[in-house]
Copies of this chain bind each other. A is one copy, B any other.
Amino acid sequence: MVNVAILGFGTVGSGVAEVLTTNGGLIDRRVDDLVRLKYIVDVRDFPDSPYKDLFVKDFAVIENDPELDIVVETIGGAKVALDFTIRALKAGKSVVTSNKELVATHGCELLRLARDNGCSYLFEASVGGGIPILRPLGSCLAANQLEQITGILNGTTNYILTRMIRAGLTFDQALAEAQANGYAEKDPTADVDGHDACRKICILASLAFGRHVHPDQVPTQGVRGVTLADADYAASADYKIKLLGRCLRRPEGKVCAFVAPHLVSGDNPLSGVEDVFNAIAVTGNAIGDVMFYGRGAGKLPTASAVVADVIDIAKDLKKDRHNGWEEGAPDLVVSADSLVSPWYVRAQISADQARQRFGEVQLLARGGAPAGETAFLTAPMTEPEIRGKLAGLEADSLFRVLA
């Protein structure tokens, strides 16, 4: 018998209970043992829940139950969740989470705590929702030196950008629609300003390169600056605007990581990732490029990833999973200044002035463009180079291009 407790009975927590119940038979067969949901910890009351007999309000019950093996933390945030996670691990109970904020800020210490206490800390669901990505990074791609990761990591912003492109909505209209459909929170800051994508690229970078990359170290630009005009110009040359989280291996063990809107070429499979879907492209020195695609959020997809971690732990409760990474450092993350790419520029200048400043450019067109507005793609160059050429000219939009 393997006993599981769920902390927090919100969307993901209730999804985990549902998957453990609905697919219980096949889970027990995979584990070769009975996996039982023993407790659900929540301060609220759920008198009508089919799980009503499992609810407890006091975390100490879990902490002190010697029969309890695995704690599923779906509280979110980095306060109560941090406290409970530390206490669970210190009590020798493995913890599974979907909490990207907690992993991105405290992952290194929590992984060490798990190792020191002979248990595990797993968080497949923290990146890409249900998409298998963290475990494949550590196992299936283990023979590779990883070179870079590029991901559409936030479903809300991808939905907004898709609706702008497909339905011609403005950013504000698309955001309102996403909120009406339950894809965006009332306060959409974490999604729209890129913080959610930032946390996820931090987790991916830490795992891929072996040292903790902290969200504070990652320059993060959201999608508020993307206009319908930009989407139209991009479409005219078969590009789509996508919010990308990127990390790249740099010499001497350094890491480059950032989040920003990009123009993505129609030839790149990331350009076809629409609506609330996520996709993560990984480049390794042997495998070349691989991409993982699926629902990056949602109750059951996320629960699917959480329960996969539960199954992994339940199969071998005391296994050392070697899934940690080293401490970070203030000088670990270097700027993207040396990264060469074409750029998309929209500015109030003439085509001739654009050519004078930027040399050979690919001019873009859109219906209804106001006089004096020019948008174009430049030759590949670094960010300092493009900013040098702008020299005093305020671009209305300036985005990197991903070929």
Contact = CB atoms under 8 A, between A and B. Distances in A.
A390 to B, nearest CB: 34
Interface in A280-312: 284-295, 298, 300-301, 303-308, 310-312
B23 A145 contact: yes
Interface string A229-260: 00000000000000000000000000000000
Sorted nearest first, the 8 A-B pairs with minimum C-beta distance are: A132-B140, A143-B307, A290-B294, A286-B304, A291-B293, A287-B304, A130-B287, A132-B136
A304 B272 contact: no
Interface string A333-364: 00000000000000000000000000000000
Interface residues of A, number: 50
A290 B27 CA distance: 20
Contacts of A19: 143, 286
A135 B130 contact: no
A186 interface: no
Contacts of A27: 142-143
Contacts of A32: 322
Contacts of A284: 304
B285 A22 contact: yes
A107 B286 CA distance: 27
Contact of A289 (B142, B288, B295, B307): B295
A142 B30 contact: yes
Identify the interface centre among A139, A140, A295, A305: most chain B CB within 10 Å of its CB.
Answer: A140
A295 B291 CA distance: 10
A78 to B, nearest CB: 25
Contacts of A23: 143-145, 285-286
Contacts of A291: 291-294
Given A286-B300, A289-B294, A292-B292, 7 more contacts: A130-B286, A132-B132, A139-B139, A143-B303, A269-B273, A287-B294, A293-B293
